[in-house]
Amino acid sequence: MPRPTLHDALSFEFPAVSGEYARGRFTIDDRHRQPQGLVHGGVYAAMAEALASEGTVEGVGRDEALTVLGMANDTVFLRPVSEGTIEAEGEPFHRGRSTWIWDIRFTNGGGRLCAVSRVTIAVRPKRS
């Protein structure tokens, strides 16, 4: 049985993931809020890296000899959100042998842009 992950702890959902496009979402509850009641920036960053990582895994074909690791994550917060659902959509704009770079957009329940991320994912051989 797989061990619980951060994705499980934050109830992230990934309804569509491929090497070309990734979509995720979460419904906001107290686990996602900072003390002022707004979604914590780390939740956006975690979702962005999760989407980029899962998309990269799909894009390299789930090659058992490779591992995918977050390398950089720049997340900018544009609009505070305290309730509802956050939707995330991402696309890679660079797909190399050793790095992939993704742009991720976050919208609130009304479809308004609330955060953006650029995530770099390293693709490396697994160590034995």
* CA nearest to 73, candidates 92, 94, 52: 52
What CATH code would you report for 6-125?
3.10.129.10
Residue 63 pLDDT: 78
Residue 4 pLDDT: 86
β-bridge pairing 113-125 and 85-95? unpaired
* Contact predicate 89/23, CB 8 Å: yes
Q: What is the mean pLDDT of the chain?
A: 95
* Contact predicate 12/26, CB 8 Å: yes
pTM of the model: 0.94
List the catalytic residue out of 13, 49, 83, 89: 49
Active site residue 83: no
How do the domains of the chain map onto residue ranges?
6-125
Residue 36 pLDDT: 96
